[in-house]
Amino acid sequence: MDADELGGFIDQRFRLPGDRLFRMEVLPAYEVDSDGDDYRRWLDGATEPTWSRKQPWLDSLRRERDNGQVSTRVRVLSDELTTYERYACEFGYVHNASAGEDIRVLHRGEHALPHELQEEDFWVINDDIVVPMRYDQHGRFESAYVAEHDEVATYVRARDVAWAAAEPFLAWWARHPELHRRTAQAQ
């Protein structure tokens, strides 16, 4: 599947009250269209995302939450956060979490990473569909595919142990003001 096909595939299966969607993110950086020009703007010193691009996504997260859908994510962060990871925290996760996505982090060097952790990006839809994703060495999305039925349990177990070991993002972010742009620049 390409990115558009993946989006449609998820939308068809994650739309009803009680539906559950999980995302595992492990790369130190992504070069994806969904960022728009926000990463470049963040590097240039912008203090907030482009709201005309970000607000529709936040509205979608709120509608899903209000509809009884559950969207979760575990983000594995590098020992020393990359600039992209800091950007994703400030322009992405802070706002997504406030809009209803339940995000947790595993920060290498701070949290113990479970042995069962799958070191790849994937989605789990309603506990029975797994969609691993492939990226190139620069974090550009290449493809996704539906995992075979006999692979599902391995990914669901990896999700469960990662979730149990991870810390809620907003609590983790509040404990790390040194990573916030304004605080880091003031030092």
Torsion, CA 183, CA 78, CA 159, CA 177, rounded to 10: -10
In contact, 117 and 123? CB cutoff 8 Å:
no
In contact, 50 and 36? CB cutoff 8 Å:
yes
* 182, pLDDT greater than 90: no
Q: Give the contacts of 11 (CB within 8 A, at least 6 positions apart).
A: none
Calculate the average pLDDT of the chain: 93
Which pTM does this prediction carry?
A: 0.91
In contact, 165 and 110? CB cutoff 8 Å:
no
Alpha carbons within 13 A on the beta-carbon side of 63: 9
In contact, 129 and 137? CB cutoff 8 Å:
no
Q: Could you give the CA distance from residue 102 to residue 72 in angstroms, rounded to a whole number?
A: 5
pLDDT of amino acid 35: 77
Q: Which residue has the higher pLDDT, 184 or 96?
A: 96
Q: Which two tokens stand for residue 36?
A: 């728009």
For 103-147, write each residue's pLDDT tens digit: 999 999 999 899 888 889 999 999 999 999 999 999 999 999 999
For 36-77, write each residue's pLDDT tens digit: 789 999 999 998 899 998 999 999 999 999 999 999 999 999
* Kind of pairing between the strands at 141-144 and 129-135: antiparallel
pLDDT of amino acid 118: 84
3-state secondary structure of 169: helix
